[in-house]
Chain A
Amino acid sequence: MSDITKQSLTELVENIKNKKLSSTDVTKAFIDRSEKSEELNAYITNDFTSALDKAKKFDQKPNLNLKLPGIPMAVKDLFCTKDIKTTAGSKILNNFVPTYESTVTENIWNEGAILLGKLNCDEFAMGSSNETSFFGNVQSPIDKNLVPGGSSGGSASAVAGQLTPVTIGTDTGGSIRQPASFTGIVGLKPTYGSCSRYGIVAFASSLDQAGPMAQNVKDCALLHEVISSYDSKDATSIDFKRNHYSKELTNNIKGKKIGIPKEYRVDGMPKEIEDLWQKGIQYVKDCGAETIDISLPNTSYALPTYYIVAPAEASSNLARYDGVKYGFRAKGENLIDMYEKTRSEGFGAEVQRRIMIGTYVLSSGYYDAYYLKAQKVRKLIKNDFDEAYKKVDAILTPSTPSSAFKIGEKTNDPVSMYLNDIFTVPVNLAGLPGISIPAGHDSKGYPLGLQIIGKAFDEQNILNIAYAMEEKINFKNRITDWWIK
């Protein structure tokens, strides 16, 4: 089978279970394609040699009852992997080799999957284009010199470019959904507390969530079912009954009420996005769902709120990088000088900017005006959703206000970069699940995504709506393999 890497996760699992393919066949195919795809710069670290060993070992004694039997998979380099370098895209962790495994990746290996390597991302997941990575920007498989989005840019590029069948990313303000939308794939940001944060390099702890990225909704449901678990090692992990998301997946969404929030019709949004949204509304109606106009009045305050809350938490979380216990250390004349030089040389510009914002809003005299104010507005944003969910079961919006942009286009203007996350950030602030699915192309041929936002813990419902829409949309990603010589 020459087209192994074109197969979906669901197909690969089936073919391994039916013994039509071995784990070695599949692992070899993805390694081979990954090796031919260096130009994408999707990987920071590869683990191909030991992946092949593990695949061979799996084939000698295959356990076919597992959910991901012998499936190779690369993951975002924000997840700690035991004995495999984990950098978070930063110089400051360039030599960090964890002695423990994140819960989410442990869940994946326990179901039989095999690590291919660690995928590029924005430094400490701070960015929307993968251009802040110490290891260089990532190319999108859609077009040369196009950003794959971020922060899970390497993850998006690797799935869309078929370097890995599926992957996991993390989403603090849109870091799974925005790159999924930019590269024509599916990305789910689960409810806060659904997936353990243990062993994930922390950015903003009240917003961070891990989630699956895949070529289709069914694959996404299957991977979500593997990674979502209660974990006593994460104090904010929530103990609730989790579904068999892939088994319970249905395209029957008859009678579902879907809200269309008028505040997401923002100034300057391209007509193509508006048209796509209207098409989406028609699709859900065709599936027998009902759409209802709703209002989320505080939407325009979400981004300013986020740019207080996230940097504040980041400045506190990143205080641990001091050159003492792990990571990079610069030489200093004394202890304080060593701290200051380590952090100045070890962190990139965007990370320093956010630490500075966070330090400022938490500093004496400014706390009430900024941080407390933001926490109050965050409450109003959550109340908006609570109110809307009295009337509707889910909400449909565009995923991003534009399609992917060129590398370098927005690097000099932080605020215009931040505006990318305008439709995704409110979901993190309210702790809700959201999924982005590819829904069409713009005039340049770049993918565009639609987002379905659910009630807390209602992943099954948004997966079902996405599944029903996927069938109607019948999206085909235009991957030309431009980077393969």
Chain B
Amino acid sequence: MSIDLKTIKHISKLARISVDEQRAEKLAGDLNSIFEFIEKLNELKTDNVEPLTSIAETTLKLRSDEVKSKNIREQIIKNSPQDNEDYFVVPKVIE
């Protein structure tokens, strides 16, 4: 299997990371060598194996639905790269 530039462009769209041509070529090379290494897993037959989805074999604990943090808007907004005291601000989305 080989990951081509078209695939790299597609993944970078999905991952929301812009890559220029030069980066894309470097990434294609890196990913191909990593996937070559990953393909080793195909040696194993796993048809009847249950996938391991959680390492901690416990059921999630239930808790009462209570508000624990009140009036923390200021704290939440504090680290925002651009704010107007009340909201997160993003570039205009509606024309």
Contacts and interface: CB of A to CB of B under 8 A. Distances in A.
Interface residues of A: mostly helix, strand, loop or mixed?
Answer: helix
Interface in A309-345: 315, 319, 322-329, 332-341, 343-344
B52 A375 contact: yes
Interface residues of A, number: 67
Interface of B: 3, 7-8, 11-12, 14-19, 27, 30-31, 33-34, 37-44, 46, 49-56, 58, 60-61, 63, 72, 75-76, 78-82, 88, 90-93
B79 A353 contact: no
Interface string A357-387: 1011001000000101111111110100000
A337 B91 CA distance: 9
B5 to A, nearest CB: 13
Given A304-B40, A380-B46, A343 B79 contact: no
A304 B82 CA distance: 41
Contact of B30 (A304, A339, A379, A414): A414
A238 interface: yes
A382 B57 CA distance: 12
Contacts of B15: 315, 343, 355-356, 359
Interface of A: 95-97, 99-100, 192-193, 206, 232, 235-236, 238, 298, 300-301, 303-305, 307-308, 315, 319, 322-329, 332-341, 343-344, 347, 352-353, 355-357, 359-360, 363, 370, 372-380, 382, 414-415, 418, 430-431
Given A356-B12, A356-B17, A382-B52, A307 B44 contact: no
Contacts of B56: 192-193, 236, 238, 431
B18 A340 contact: yes
B75 A99 contact: yes
B79 A327 contact: yes
A320 B6 CA distance: 26
Given A326-B80, A344-B18, A414-B30, A338 B40 contact: no
A103 B61 CA distance: 18
B46 to A, nearest CB: 4
